[in-house]
Structures are given as C-alpha cells and as structure tokens.
A and B are shown apart, each in its own frame.
Chain A
C-alpha cells in the first residue's frame, strides 16, 4: 500500500493495544451530572433553566449568543440541583448545571425523528446541526455548523473526516469507526449535501487496518466517498498535516482549511450529525477512552456529557496505585488536571491516567543544535531558533521566524535530546505576542 503522509513529524509510541480491541461499553449513568455551560470554542452559554426545574433528556438547557456557539442539552432527565462553578477539563473554572438524574430517561418533546431527512435543504441541515449542539469531537470543539456555513467566494471541494487519531492511548475514534461505520458514512453524506462538496474523504492511519478495511468495503458503492489510508506518524491527525496528506494542498498561513477548499471534521462528529438529522438526538453523549498505566481496567465508554472523571475511574476499578497525572486528552497535546472531580465534556476524547512520568527528568540542558526539532516540525519551523529568540523576549524576531504558525503538537519536545521544553516556551511567547498585539490595537490602532 502506497500511503500518503505529510513531511516532518515523529514516531510516538501508541499504547493503543490497551483499549483498541475493547468494544465500547455504555458507562453507568451517574446520579448527579455536572454539565458545563462552555463546551465549545466561543463565549460560554447562558443557562435557560433555574434551580429546581425539571428537565428532560435532550432538552436544551443553555444557549449562547452570536454565530460561533453551540447550545447545551441535558444528558438525562431529572431536576436541576444547582448552577455552580467547577473545574473544566480545559483547566479553568466554569459554571456547571448540576442535574440530579431521576433514572427515567424521558426524552424531551423536541427530540423527534425526521421522517424525511433526504429532503432537507442545506440550510435546514445546518440549522439541525446547530440546534443539536454539535461541535468538533476530536477535541477542538469548534461548532460544526460554522464549518458548513457558506462563505462568499469560497467553495469547499473536499470534506475530510478525520479518523487518524494519532494521540497515544486514545481509541475512541477507532471504536466508532468499527462500531458505527454506516453512521459515519450517513453523516458524511449529509455534510456533502449541505456544503455542495464534490468529494468526501475518510482518512485513517495505517495502524487501524480493521477500520480501513471495514470502511473501504462500505464505501465501495459510494460514488464520491473515498477511504484514504495514511502512514502512522505523529501529528498525522493535525488539520493542516491531514489536508496535505489527503489532497497535497497547503492551508495558507493564517488561513482556514476552507482557503484550501477543504472542510475537516472528526469521524465521531459525522455520527453525531447523522443522529441529529435522522433521529433528532442532540449531542448528549460521546465515546471516551479511559486508559493509561494508572488505571486498573482501561476501556472505551459511551458516556453521558457531565459524567465525572471520577465516576468513570471508579467504574474502571480505580487506580493501580499512586498516580502522578491525569490527562484530559492525549499524551502529546492533552491537558493535565488537578483532580478527577471534573466533568466529561463534548471534547473529551480520552482520559489518560499515568503512574509515572514517561522519560522526563525535568532538567533542561543546552541546545546542541542537533536539529531533530527542525526535522520533526510538521510546519517546517525551526523550534530551537524560535525558542532562543523567545527566551530573550525578542518577540518581533520570533514572529519573523513564524512562531505564530506553531500548532503546538509537541513533536519538537518529544525528540529533543536536551529535554528543552520547546513548545512550552513557544506557548508562553505566543501568549505574550497575542497580548502585545491586543494592546497595540487598543492603544488607538490608528497607526
């Protein structure tokens, strides 16, 4: 098989054997769910319910203003107990709507199957996707309906469904491709119709051969859907690298995939779209992988949004011993959290519990100019050069060296023999540059 890929990158151990062969199991629905009002990129939603209100499963309980937003629905039927601040997997504290589950699983009236989904206009499809609160389930949580909205003078040609899942340990997308391949294709068909794209691509990394075979077989009769197998390399699932691997196109610096004529969505997002359009079900559950050497029974769970990390960990038999870190997301780009008292959100593709740090002694040595970071950078940057500038606060020079193009994939840190936290320095510098830009704008900006 002649497989496509991108240039640069590195090879990271997968640790996927822990869960890739395990069928998704529905997680126990807890008695109390904590549903954050911010589960997407954009301003937080405003609660539509009050303490004491009865809510139904699938009922809209919070919505936002503006275009880049996604409403939030109750994942169970029950009663609103409180609206309180709680730590979010993203790290900050966010208002959560606390719902006491009554165990009746009563659907809201608004959840109605669509008798004739084939006749929906593209605008109607977008509206359903918006109302269902669907966001990118790969982790970026960008509201999906925004990606489909027509933009003047820009017509997407391809929709790429991202089934790469290049983060170690996580197998949620792998499982959904094996378990719901028809739903993925159904979702993709609606997406193609609503955007007028001529071709749909399902991109899968070669380490998921079973998923490649299954989807390829199902797509044999599809005229405009193709399954592309990609080389196993990190960060193959990163948007710009994925687009290059599948189409040979480059997203211009500062641009969006649409500027390259491409829309990228996660495979799980496609399933959510199909469910919303055909069954009227909003996004209230997702597949989350719970894995790592610190967890007794790693598993893939179908879990209601608002379930706590600790609920899942308990279901998996708890920790194997003293643990060091819990990572919300993957090893390469996930965020560590202080406690396990944190709700699962729409973007929670995985939770990794680590017993010990893998190979990091924490000490930073002199850069030896080995250029491994340069060779690994999938954006063709020179991480070492940028970091040397950033350490000295030379923001303008760092910008000239394209610091803002860094996708923070962490490949440079992974390969660095001097253990320099390159991407961490870059992140800090990007924040400072962003703040400086904002300040320049507010200081008149007339210059």
Chain B
C-alpha cells in the first residue's frame, strides 16, 4: 500500500500513444524532398540555392510574425513553414528574382495558411497559393526558364509541346533524370519518385491520391496521343515533365487540403488529373498542376461530405 496518501495519476484510456506527431511527419516529408533538392542543386547550382533559402527563411519569419500578431502559439518548430517554403521554391523558376520569391513565400504563409487559422484550417495548399499568386502577378518572371548547368534561357518540355516545337524536345532519359529546363525542384522525375515512394513506405501519404492523379493524366494523354497520332512519347512526357510528380506526391497529398475518406481521395486524384490535362492541352498555360490542385482543394469538403464510409453493420448514409 505504498500509495495510500500518494494517489496515482488517473486518465482516460488509451494509455499509450504512437510516436506519430506533426513535427516528425513534416520532417519526414522534408527528408523525402532531399533527392529533389540534390537534383535542384546539381542542375541549377547557386541560383536554386538562393531561391530555396529565401523562400524558407521568409516562410519562417512570416509564420513567426503573423502568429505573434494574431496572438497564437508560435509553431515554427513544427517544420511546416520550412516545408511550405521548400515546396514553393521547388515550383519556382531558378531565375526568379529573389524579392518575388520572398513575396510568394510570405503570401503562402500569411494568406494561404495563417489567415485561415493556421495549420489544419487552411483550405488551400499554402505553397500553391504562393505560386498561384506569383503566376498571376508576375507571369513573365514566372515563365522565364533557364537550362540546367549553364543558365541559358530555354523552354520547358511542356512549353515546347504547347508551342508545337517537338523536334527540340529533350530525350525521355534527360527528362527522367531532370536535365531539362523547368522549376527548381520539378525537373528530376527520378528524384521525385524516390521521395514519393519514401512517403508511401513511411505511411505519410495514401497511395490513392498519387496513383489516381498520375493514372488519370497518363490515361487521358495516352488517348489524346493516340487520337492525334503523336506516338508513345506523348503520355510519358506529360507524366514526367512539369510539376506533375511534385504535385501528385507532395502537393495533392497535403493532409490538410485533401479528402479524409478513401473514396474521396480517389475522386480527388482523378479530378486533379482531369483538370491538369484540360489546362495543359486546352488552356492558356503549358502547365496546369498548380491550379488543378487548388481547384480540387476547393471541393474537398464537398467530396468528404458525399463519400462518407458506411459504418460497420450499417446502411449507407448521405449527408
């Protein structure tokens, strides 16, 4: 009876918790982006590094200041601001003026995240809000591409397809390795796939979103390719070029802004795929990943509402 006077702790079950926490998960996503980071530094050297550091630093400062002003707990330690800054930098051109990158990063954090109530309450993917804002505000700076290594002005593979200058297209292997013009972290398909698989294995993302997204883009572009007699390269370029892999593995799978139901995730992925192909083939931009995901973020609550699972032993219900 050692504890007669010294009462024990009582608490409601369960009395054990997994080691999951938000910071660990965010850090793991950052780890998953390291292959793409290495590729970015390899191809775009110091230009990429400057943009990446700027975006991350501004993201952290923006988070700190806005949380201070809104009298919220400071959560810069959870690494989510670092992740947002990194993701934003990855979808900017290496030649972007740093002040534009900084504005994008501040918009991503302040408008995309904190003004909605902070992590967990944002409707849109913050990094994509930043990119979307910059693309609408400084379209020229946002579409000024440089070639890997030498920094000479070039066009992106998707841009070449859009302008029908397919004879200049890089080879599939160049595209897969990332030796093409494009955004800082988007060029190397290989690096992004490695990172995506890491996230899948670690259980941070569900396979449903990336597979339905990539599958939809591949299937649709294959059909269009066959219909237009473009040949087998067409769907592969659409799969590996542009921001699709980064978007499918790292942006569309954002916990906060994607559906929580399993069926919903498949619908979400298919929706992203449809919109991406539509924008790429019929829209004014060569690339549509950013806007597709933002548009699908918007309907996430609706998807969740209509894809509720049937409770075990119950009949299907509609909200």
Could you tell me which A residues sit within 8 Å of B by CB distance? 10, 12-13, 168, 240-241, 244, 250-253, 255, 310, 318-319, 323-327, 329, 331-341, 352, 354, 357-360, 365-372, 374-375, 378-382, 384-385, 400-402, 405, 408, 410, 413-419, 421, 423-424, 427
Contacts and interface: CB of A to CB of B under 8 A. Distances in A.
19 contacts: A13-B16, A244-B312, A251-B312, A325-B8, A326-B8, A331-B15, A333-B13, A336-B9, A340-B8, A354-B15, A365-B120, A366-B118, A379-B312, A400-B319, A402-B317, A414-B14, A414-B16, A415-B18, A423-B14
B19 interface: yes
A253 B314 contact: yes
Interface string B66-79: 00000000000000
Contacts of A405: 311-314
B13 A334 contact: yes
B41 interface: no
Contact of B310 (A380, A418, A424): A380
Contact of A360 (B8, B17, B308, B310): B17
A365 B212 CA distance: 31
Q: Among the interface residues B19, B24, B257, B309, which one has the most CB atoms of the partner chain A within 10 A?
A: B309
A353 to B, nearest CB: 9
Interface in B79-111: none
Interface string B1-34: 1111001111111111111111011000000000
A423 B15 CA distance: 12
Contacts of B314: 252-253, 402, 405
A325 to B, nearest CB: 5
Contacts of B118: 366
Contacts of B50: none
A417 B23 CA distance: 8
A416 B24 CA distance: 12
Nearest to A428: B12
A419 B9 contact: no
A324 B18 CA distance: 19
Given A240-B312, A365-B22, A337 B15 contact: no
A310 B2 CA distance: 9
A354 B8 CA distance: 10
Contacts of B310: 380
B2 A318 contact: yes
Contacts of A378: 312
Contact of B313 (A255, A365, A413): A255
A240 B16 contact: no
A411 to B, nearest CB: 8
Contacts of A329: 13
Contact of B16 (A12, A250, A427): A12
B261 interface: yes
A250 B313 contact: yes
Given A368-B119, A370-B255, A414 B17 contact: yes
A386 to B, nearest CB: 11
Given A324-B9, A341-B1, A333 B312 contact: no
B262 interface: yes
Contacts of B304: 385
B137 interface: no
B15 A381 contact: no
Contacts of B20: 372, 415-417
A185 B24 CA distance: 48
B109 to A, nearest CB: 15
A405 B310 CA distance: 11
Contact of B120 (A253, A341, A369): A369
A382 B261 CA distance: 8
A378 B256 CA distance: 22
A319 B2 CA distance: 9
B266 to A, nearest CB: 13
Given A357-B15, A372-B20, A375-B262, A381 B311 contact: yes
A366 B310 CA distance: 26
A423 B14 CA distance: 8
Contacts of B309: 374, 380-382
Nearest to A11: B18
- Sorted from nearest, which 9 A-B pairs have the closest CB atoms? A410-B14, A366-B120, A371-B260, A370-B255, A250-B313, A417-B20, A359-B17, A336-B10, A380-B309
Contact of A250 (B7, B12, B255, B312): B312
Contacts of B119: 366, 368
Given A410-B14, A414-B14, A340 B1 contact: yes
Q: Among the interface residues B2, B258, B312, which one has the most CB atoms of the partner chain A within 10 A?
A: B312
B18 A333 contact: no
B234 to A, nearest CB: 35
B121 interface: yes
Nearest to B121: A366
Given A382-B308, A417-B20, A341 B4 contact: yes
Contacts of A12: 16
B293 to A, nearest CB: 15
A414 B118 CA distance: 24
Contacts of B121: 366
B11 A339 contact: no
A413 B14 contact: yes
